[in-house]
Amino acid sequence: MDKKELMEGIASGSLRRRDLLRGLTALGIGVAVLPMVPGRARAAGEITYFTWEGYEIPELHGDYIKKHGGSPETGIFSDEEEAFQKMRAGYKPDVMHPCSYSVRRWRDAELLQPIDTGKLKNWADVVSTLKSLKGAQDGGKQWFVPFDWGNTSVLYRTDLVDIKEDSWGILFDEKYKGKIATFAGVDETVPYTSAYLGLDPWNLSEADLEKVRAMLKKQRDLVRFYGEDETSIEQALASGEIVAATTWNASVKRLLDQGVKVRYMKPKEGIITWCCGMVIHKDCKDVAAAMDFIDAMLSPETGRYMIAEYGYGHSNAKSFDLAGDEAINAAGLSRDVEGFLKGGIFSGEFRDREATVKMYEDVKAGL
C-alpha cells in the first residue's frame, strides 16, 4: 500500500495490527507511538495504555469508560523489544500489554510492580492455567494478568486436502510442493518445526538446532512463499494458490465468513499457544485507575467481543458462555479452555535467540 492508503487506514481504524506495522516498516515510518484515532473520548490526566495496534478500541474496556468517562491515552508498539527499549529509555506508561514470556525480562529490568489481584472483581473467573504461566508469578506475587490468547497452527482447505491425521508434517510433505506457505517469522516457524521433530523449542542444543535447520531447508524447497502477514496467506488460501499454511485463529473466522472451506488443525505434536496480558509500570501515576482498566479488560463482555470479532481466546472463562458455540468453533477454540490449553505448547524464549534467528534467516536466504 502507498502512504496515503496507510494513513487513511490508521484514521479509520480498518487496518489489522500486523498489516499496519508491516506497512509502516515498508514506508520507513517509525511506530514507537502512533497518534490516537480521532473522535474517541479520552480520560485526560489519568492513565496511559501501551499496547499493540488494535487493542486500544473502546469495545475492549467498556466498564472503564463507564466509570472514568473515556478511554485512557494510548501508546502503540510494534513488538515487545521496541516497547522494552522505549521504557528503558524513560517512557513511563501505566499499563502495558506484553506476552507472558517477556514478563520476567521486564520485571528483572525493574520496570514492573506486583498486582493486587484481590482488587480485581473478575479475577476469580480467570482461567487457572493462565494465572500461573511461567513468569506470571514470583515471590508469592502476581506480576502479569492474562488477557488474550491464541494459537499458531495449520489452516487448510478441506476441499483440496485429504488429511489422514492432524500433524505439522503437512508443511514438510513433498506431495504439496508449491502449495503450502508458512510465516516468515522465527517465533512461529522454529517452534512448530521443533515440535514436529520431538524437540523442546525453547531449549535447543547446537545439535538440535542443526536438526531444525535440516528440516527447514527441506521445507524451503516446498513452500510457495514465506508469509509476512495474515492477509497474503488468507488470500492465497481463498484463491486455491495454496492449500495449507500456518496462521492465527483470526484467519479461520475471516475465511469461513467468506465461505471458504477451511479447517484449523490441532496437530498431534502440539498446537503453539501464546498468551498476552496486562502489567503495571513501577511508576504508574494512578494505580487505582490502572486496576479499573485491567478489570474492564477482564470482563466477560470484553471477552465475548474478543472471541466473536477477533477470533482469539480470552482469559475469563465466562466469556465463552457469552460468545456461544458458533463463534468459539469459528475461531478454532473450545469451551473446555483448560483442556484445550493443556494440549498446546506455550510460547517462550529461545535458549539462544541470536543463533536461532541467524539459522532461520540463513535458511530462507538459501545458505
Residue-level pLDDT at 331:
80
How many DSSP H helices and E strands does the chain contain? Answer: 15, 14
Residue-level pLDDT at 117:
97
CATH class of the structural domain 150-272+347-364: alpha beta
Residue-level pLDDT at 178:
98
Q: Which of 41-45, 319-323, 324-328, 355-359 has the lowest mean pLDDT?
A: 41-45
pLDDT band at 332 (very low <50, low <70, confident <90, very high): confident
CA distance 86 to 307: 31
Residue-level pLDDT at 360:
95
Rounded percentage of the chain residues whose pLDDT exceeds 90? 68
**Dihedral sign of CA atoms 19, 20, 22, 27 in order:** positive
CA angle 61, 62, 67 (to 5 degrees): 105
Q: Which of 238-247, 249-258, 268-277 has the lowest mean pLDDT?
A: 249-258
Which range is most confident: 3-12, 209-218, 343-352? 209-218
Contact 320, 337 (CB under 8 A): yes
Which backbone phi and psi does 45 adopt, to 5 degrees? 75, 5
Do 3-149+275-335 and 150-272+347-364 fold alike per CATH? yes
Cell, residue 63: 466498564
Per-residue model confidence as pLDDT tens digits over 143-179 = 999 999 998 999 999 999 988 899 999 999 999 999 9
Residue-level pLDDT at 193:
98
pTM value is: 0.75
Query: Could you tell me which residue, 3 or 65, shows the higher pLDDT?
Result: 65
Q: Where are the domains of the chain?
A: 3-149+275-335, 150-272+347-364
When the pLDDT of each residue in the chain is averaged and rounded to a whole number, the result is: 87
Contact 236, 245 (CB under 8 A): yes
What's the start-to-end Cα distance of the chain, in Å?
31
Rounded percentage of the chain residues whose pLDDT exceeds 70? 88
pLDDT of 56 > 90? The answer is yes
Residue-level pLDDT at 155:
96
Residue-level pLDDT at 149:
95
Cell, residue 235: 488470500
pLDDT band at 250 (very low <50, low <70, confident <90, very high): confident
pLDDT band at 185 (very low <50, low <70, confident <90, very high): confident
Q: Which CATH code of 2.60.40.2130, 2.40.240.10, 3.40.190.10, 1.10.3720.10 fits the domain covering 3-149+275-335?
A: 3.40.190.10
